[in-house]
């Protein structure tokens, strides 16, 4: 009974899988927030290097991973896959549970899988400095690491509530050489406008994105990097699913259901997209995204055009959105608090290719603790949403006396999130369902796209 399913270093994928040519239906255009016309590559050049812009719109199914990127990925890739024998036993389920573990990267999550290529394409385009935002700090620490590896300066706008709640994430970014400021800051027009309206604002991912975009758009030496949502970010994460398919083959198995937690959509895309290709070719497989009930982008929102940020500076995309001025409650899974969802994931949900489920944070922490006690690894609070969904699938299989193979992506470890576990153990966490009225209010401000 094998527990760890490992691949040798030369099995790090040599190409990323681009789902765009296999999408059901046409992609909606991305709209410029100033002109309200579809954006062209030149509109994006102040923000992104051409190498990434080309990937954003590419219709090539396979895209080569540069050797310089594979060299750095080899520090932690291929990541291990585990068969959760001990969890299966605890649950008493006939289901087989596998998980792919992305917590082995230096930053402790899947985020460096895209931070490294983003820094690389910026480096070869002559960018000197990258500006970005971070919520819980996973993305900020990943882009700081990648900038360090390619000798780029890095400026991070960190959502204020996390800046104070997660001091060690800030220390990690500083260790890897980044400058970090709490957002809203007084360094940008977007930040100053928020502070004028509410000097005690806790910030949000939407506000921090506005600050980083403004920073990049107003400096010649700086470009912007986003840790999720965009097509090229989902593309870079497909190394997860491509490796997972090989590992499942080594285990002599194939999943009936593939599960990922969903914030902006990138780790979900990473594990899911390569399996969706099989589904399109006739495989009978379910693909499930798990999100928090406090930020129910996929399960309670609308599929409409919306801005990617609060200050309406980022491009407008068609996606599931809670509205760009959605103010998330301060739940601990900070990385799952974005108002929108990746346009590719949104379209797949809209077309019925994938499913989504919202789960409460108390049940997620219960699942994370049960998982830790069986398997040892302490999951990131974000990843615990996938664990909750996987355990629920396994318990359903038990009830129905059904054999089922479950694969989920354990997107990160929770070593820097122990304050959230403390809050759970001392009974301070409660489930908070984002009110429908608040969503409706926010949706009244969606842009009008012809
Ligand atoms: C460990 C972990 N998992 C998941 C996410 C959610 O992001 P995404 O949906 O882009 O994968 C985050 C975001 O920061 C994260 O840190």
- 177 Cα: distance to centroid of ligand 1 (angstroms): 22
> Which strands, in side-by-side order, build the sheet including 96-101?
4-5, 81-83, 96-101, 405-410, 257-261, 286-292, 355-359
Please choose from 79, 101, 109, 414 the residue to mutate so as to test ligand 1's pocket, defined by most ligand atoms within 8 A of CB.
Answer: 109
Atom number, ligand 1, closest to the C-alpha of residue 268: 11
- 382 Cα: distance to centroid of ligand 1 (angstroms): 6
The position carrying tokens 């036993």 is 89
Ligand 1 pocket, residue 335 CB under 6 Å? yes
- 1 Cα: distance to centroid of ligand 1 (angstroms): 31
- 402 Cα: distance to centroid of ligand 1 (angstroms): 31
Average pLDDT, the chain: 95
Ligand 1 pocket, residue 102 CB under 6 Å? no
Side-chain half-sphere of 50: how many Cα atoms within 13 Å?
4
| pLDDT of amino acid 164 | 85
Protein residue with least CA distance to atom 5, ligand 1:
335
- 267 Cα: distance to centroid of ligand 1 (angstroms): 6
Ligand 1 pocket, residue 380 CB under 6 Å? yes
Using pLDDT thresholds of 50, 70 and 90, give the confidence band for residue 333.
low
Protein residue with least CA distance to atom 15, ligand 1:
335
**Mean pLDDT, to the nearest integer, of 305-324?**
93
Atom number, ligand 1, closest to the C-alpha of residue 233: 10
Contact predicate 94/403, CB 8 Å: yes
**Mean pLDDT, to the nearest integer, of 393-421?**
97
| pLDDT of amino acid 244 | 98
- 297 Cα: distance to centroid of ligand 1 (angstroms): 14
**Mean pLDDT, to the nearest integer, of 17-30?**
96
Protein residue with least CA distance to atom 1, ligand 1:
412
**Is 436 buried (19+), middle (13-18) or exposed (0-12) by CB count in 10 A?**
exposed
- DSSP type of residue 125: T
**Is 297 buried (19+), middle (13-18) or exposed (0-12) by CB count in 10 A?**
buried
For a pLDDT cut of 70, what percent of the chain falls above it?
Answer: 98
- 135 Cα: distance to centroid of ligand 1 (angstroms): 10
Atom number, ligand 1, closest to the C-alpha of residue 269: 11
Side-chain half-sphere of 119: how many Cα atoms within 13 Å?
29
Protein residue with least CA distance to atom 13, ligand 1:
335
The position carrying tokens 């940020």 is 309
Ligand 1 pocket, residue 264 CB under 6 Å? yes
- DSSP type of residue 251: T
* 430-446 confidence digits (pLDDT tens): 898 888 888 899 899 99
Residues 6+ apart with CB under 8 A from 428: none
Given a cut of 80, whether residue 369 has pLDDT beyond it is yes
Protein residue with least CA distance to atom 6, ligand 1:
263
**Is 275 buried (19+), middle (13-18) or exposed (0-12) by CB count in 10 A?**
buried
| pLDDT of amino acid 332 | 62
| pLDDT of amino acid 62 | 98
Given a cut of 70, whether residue 330 has pLDDT beyond it is no
H helix count then E strand count, the chain: 18, 15
**Mean pLDDT, to the nearest integer, of 343-352?**
98
Q: Full-prediction pTM beyond 0.95? A: yes
């Amino acid at each position: 009974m094998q527990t760890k399913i490992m691949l040798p270093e030369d099995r790090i994928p040599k190409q990323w899988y681009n789902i765009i040519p296999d999408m059901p239906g046409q992609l909606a255009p991305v709209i410029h927030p100033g002109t309200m016309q579809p954006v062209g590559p030149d509109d994006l050049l102040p923000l992104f290097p051409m190498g990434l812009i080309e990937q954003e719109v590419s219709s090539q199914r396979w895209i080569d991973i540069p050797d310089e990127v594979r060299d750095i990925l080899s520090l932690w890739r291929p990541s291990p896959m585990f068969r959760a024998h001990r969890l299966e036993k605890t649950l008493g389920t006939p289901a087989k549970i596998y998980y792919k573990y992305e917590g082995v990267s230096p930053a402790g999550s899947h985020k460096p899988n895209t931070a490294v290529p983003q820094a690389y394409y910026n480096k070869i385009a002559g960018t000197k400095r990258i500006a970005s935002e971070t919520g819980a700090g996973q993305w900020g620490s990943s882009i700081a690491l990648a900038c360090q590896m390619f000798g780029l300066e890095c400026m991070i706008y960190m959502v204020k509530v996390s800046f104070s709640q997660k001091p060690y994430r800030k220390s990690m970014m500083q260790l890897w050489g980044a400058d970090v400021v709490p957002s809203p800051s007084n360094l940008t027009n977007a930040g100053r406008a928020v502070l004028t309206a509410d000097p005690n604002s806790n910030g949000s991912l939407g506000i921090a994105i506005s600050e980083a975009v403004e920073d990049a758009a107003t400096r010649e030496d700086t470009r912007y990097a986003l840790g999720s949502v965009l097509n090229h970010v989902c593309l870079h994460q497909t190394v997860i699913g491509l490796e997972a398919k090989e590992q499942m083959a080594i285990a002599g198995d194939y999943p009936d259901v593939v599960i990922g937690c969903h914030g902006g959509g990138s780790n979900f895309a990473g594990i899911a997209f390569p399996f969706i290709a099989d589904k399109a070719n006739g495989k009978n497989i379910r693909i499930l995204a798990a999100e928090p009930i406090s930020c129910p982008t996929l399960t309670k929102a609308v599929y409409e055009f919306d801005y990617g940020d609060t200050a309406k500076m980022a491009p407008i995309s068609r996606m599931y959105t809670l509205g760009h001025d959605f103010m998330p409650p301060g739940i601990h899974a900070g990385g799952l608090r974005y108002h929108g969802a990746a346009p590719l994931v949104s379209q797949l949900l809209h077309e019925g290719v994938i499913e989504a489920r919202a789960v409460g944070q108390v049940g997620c922490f219960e699942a994370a603790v049960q998982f830790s006690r069986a398997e040892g690894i302490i999951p990131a609070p974000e990843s615990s949403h996938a664990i909750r969904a996987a355990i629920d699938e396994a318990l359903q299989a038990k009830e129905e006396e059904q054999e089922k193979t479950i694969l989920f992506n354990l997107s990160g470890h929770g070593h820097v999130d122990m304050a959230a576990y403390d809050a759970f153990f001392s009974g301070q966490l409660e489930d908070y369902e984002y009110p429908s009225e608040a969503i409706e209010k926010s949706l009244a401000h969606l842009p009008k796209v012809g």
